[in-house]
Amino acid sequence: MRETDFEKLYDVVVLGAGTAGAAAALAAADCGARVLAVEQFGSAGGSSSLGLVTPLMSPGIRNKPQCSYLGLEIIRRLTREGAADGEHKCFFDPMMLSMVLEEMLSERGVTMLYHTMVTGAEVSDGRITGIRVSNASGTGILRASRAYIDATGDAAVCRLAGLPTRHGDEEAHRNQPCSLRYLIGGVDPDRFWQFLCEKRGEPGKPRPENFDGAATLGQGSWALNDFFREAVERGDLAKEDALYWQFFTVPGRRGVLAFNCPEFFDIEDITDADRQSEVQVQGKLRILRHLRFYRKYLPGFEEAYVDQIASMVGIREGRRAETEYMLTAEDAYGWRKFDDAVAQSNYPIDIHGRTLRNQDLVRREDEPRKYYEIPFRCLQVRGTDNLLAAGRNIGTDFVAQSSVRIMPTCRALGEAAGIAAALGLRDGRAVREEMIRRGAEFC
Ligand SMILES: Cc1cc2nc3c(=O)[nH]c(=O)nc-3n(C[C@H](O)[C@H](O)[C@H](O)COP(=O)(O)OP(=O)(O)OC[C@H]3O[C@@H](n4cnc5c(N)ncnc54)[C@H](O)[C@@H]3O)c2cc1C
């Protein structure tokens, strides 16, 4: 029997074509590398397309610099298609994003290997020598002459290579809550907006092009909280259906709303396949209950239907790589700067369902530049010299990851990894210079 059915050699091999992986592949191609991007599903974008995650959160820095030239290009292209509404906290259509990414990847000549699962990694003398994959053609081995990028979101390559990884919080190793996102179509936005305004005590307020709303049975003071509490008391929703409920309109799709729920607060290890399957099954049952509830109670939802359910479980935090530097909560909260920074952010620490001991973290209030930086060393996987991590699985502690994970930052990290891999750069300063030369904005 043959050991492998196929073998491929490229300059740079990117594992996972999600938010960070797509940016890594594009940036490496821009730097002249022959790039192969491997993805288990049939589309680029990962959480931001197949996971139906929208909107793009803003890193929250004054004057709003975007540390990713590719992030800027993606948003401009989406806006041109009428599928995004701005450059900062930006509502966008996840399906249009997947097409825009596909267009950009094709234009740059990136080879996509879809429907392909990374199943193993060969390591010799501290170097990755090949990535084992499985797909409809059989089993294969992929080799990179310059570097490999682990953009799987959950450090799958690091784990398969036998390198140490971390997951969950430092105390119990429990992951952040996850969600199964969905889109509802057939909504009358004017009627629903008027209902929201009445609940918010602002009847008759004109409807903006895009709007959002939320409710929770826990902390928070959203106007719809009591409405959801009553639905639970009447038995029209289960308690878990209403613990966290949030929606956003989708630019270019009238009558479609994107929901950032249902959310699962009690999953300990979301990298476990059984747990992921449970979320898909239970999530659909909850979405069905949501739909029945909307049709019965929400003005404007009388003809609502389920437009789309995410094929990927919405994983906020799974596994993380161990890297040359591990960004900490103190770094993020204290607005720490680094010489080899490749991304900047002031997005808050955002852990769902938990109260933080913020008193343990000290803000440097004398610091005039109110953002923290992510050093390139957080991408350099410890124990290898040709594997970089990019995206939400870079080297951080649990709390810092909750801020790092937003899409603009993941794109910047992917871009940095792609440039470094293609040009053989090991110094973050040189990587940042190249990002800036190509249009990335840093403070
Ligand atoms: C529910 C939820 C809501 C969020 N809300 C927001 C928000 O409003 N705004 C915001 O900016 N950010 C938000 N985020 C965060 C953000 O979407 C993610 O952190 C970010 O997109 C992660 O990017 P990534 O590239 O690291 O991972 P992903 O985009 O998930 O990409 C990983 C890719 O690797 C592939 N992959 C994994 N394992 C393998 C394997 N073994 N073989 C082959 N391919 C593999 C996956 O299929 C996927 O395409 C949210 C996240 C979640 C889960």
Question: Has residue 222 been placed in a domain?
Answer: yes
Q: Are residues 25 and 147 in the same domain?
A: yes
Answer yes or no: is pLDDT of 406 > 90: yes
The whole-number pLDDT of residue 217 equals 86
Q: Are residues 128 and 25 in the same domain?
A: yes
Q: Are residues 407 and 334 in the same domain?
A: yes
The whole-number pLDDT of residue 427 equals 97
Q: Are residues 278 and 335 in the same domain?
A: no
CATH number of the domain where residue 372 is located: 3.50.50.60
- Give the range among 1-15, 117-131, 286-300, 373-387 with minimum mean pLDDT: 1-15
Residues above pLDDT 90, as percent of the chain = 89
The whole-number pLDDT of residue 2 equals 61
Output 218 or 411, whichever has higher pLDDT: 411
Average pLDDT, the chain: 95
Q: Are residues 141 and 21 in the same domain?
A: yes
Q: Are residues 44 and 120 in the same domain?
A: yes
Question: Has residue 131 been placed in a domain?
Answer: yes
Q: Are residues 293 and 238 in the same domain?
A: yes
User: Which residue among 259, 289, 309 closes a domain?
Assistant: 309
Q: Determine the atom of ligand 1 nearest the C-alpha atom of 116.
A: 43
Mean pLDDT score, 199-220: 90
Backbone phi and psi for residue 373, each to the nearest 5 degrees, phi listed first: -120, 155
Question: Has residue 422 been placed in a domain?
Answer: yes
217 close to 48: Cβ distance less than 8 angstroms: no
Report the distance separating Cα 298 and Cα 139, nearest Å. Answer: 50
Task: Give the pLDDT confidence of 267-312 residue by residue, as tens digits.
Answer: 899 999 999 999 999 999 999 999 999 999 999 999 999 999 999 9
Closest CA to 375 of 361, 396, 392, 393: 396
Output 365 or 403, whichever has higher pLDDT: 403
The whole-number pLDDT of residue 138 equals 97
Output 14 or 366, whichever has higher pLDDT: 14
Question: Has residue 442 been placed in a domain?
Answer: no
Q: Using a 6 Å cutoff on CB, does residue 316 contact ligand 1?
A: yes
Report the distance separating Cα 364 and Cα 227, nearest Å. Answer: 41
- Give the range among 70-74, 223-227, 333-337 with minimum mean pLDDT: 223-227
The whole-number pLDDT of residue 7 equals 97
Report the distance separating Cα 52 and Cα 91, nearest Å. Answer: 12
What is each CA distance from 268 to 93, 190, 265, 317, in whole angstroms?
31, 40, 9, 11
Q: Are residues 156 and 189 in the same domain?
A: no
17 C-alpha vs ligand 1 centroid, how far in Å?
10
Q: What pTM was estimated for this model as a whole?
A: 0.97
Strand stretches in 311-407, DSSP E: 319-321, 341-345, 372-375, 387-389
260 C-alpha vs ligand 1 centroid, how far in Å?
14
Atom 35 in ligand 1: which residue has the minimum CA distance? 16
Question: Has residue 443 been placed in a domain?
Answer: no
Report the distance separating Cα 24 and Cα 391, nearest Å. Answer: 10
Q: Are residues 16 and 163 in the same domain?
A: yes
19 C-alpha vs ligand 1 centroid, how far in Å?
6
Question: Has residue 10 been placed in a domain?
Answer: yes
Task: Give the pLDDT confidence of 41-84 residue by residue, as tens digits.
Answer: 999 999 999 999 999 999 999 888 899 999 999 999 999 999 99
Q: Determine the atom of ligand 1 nearest the C-alpha atom of 22.
A: 25
The b/e string for 407-438 (b: 16+ C-beta within 10 A; e otherwise) is bbbbbbbbbbbbbbbbbebeebeebbebbeeb
**How many other C-beta atoms can be found within 10 angstroms of the C-beta atom of residue 194?**
17
39 close to 413: Cβ distance less than 8 angstroms: no
Question: Has residue 1 been placed in a domain?
Answer: no
Q: Determine the atom of ligand 1 nearest the C-alpha atom of 18.
A: 31
Question: Has residue 408 been placed in a domain?
Answer: yes
136 C-alpha vs ligand 1 centroid, how far in Å?
24
Q: Are residues 164 and 194 in the same domain?
A: no
Residues 6+ apart with CB under 8 A from 22: 37, 44, 45, 46, 101, 104, 105, 414
Q: Are residues 108 and 186 in the same domain?
A: no
Strand stretches in 274-340, DSSP E: 305-309, 319-321
Domain of 207, in residue numbers = 178-309
| Number of domains observed in the structure of the chain | 2
98 close to 435: Cβ distance less than 8 angstroms: no
Report the distance separating Cα 63 and Cα 369, nearest Å. Answer: 11
User: Which residue among 247, 278, 309 closes a domain?
Assistant: 309
The whole-number pLDDT of residue 310 equals 98
Report the distance separating Cα 211 and Cα 257, nearest Å. Answer: 10
83 C-alpha vs ligand 1 centroid, how far in Å?
20
Residues in the chain: 443
User: Which residue among 309, 331, 362 closes a domain?
Assistant: 309
Q: Are residues 112 and 15 in the same domain?
A: yes
Q: Using a 6 Å cutoff on CB, does residue 407 contact ligand 1?
A: yes
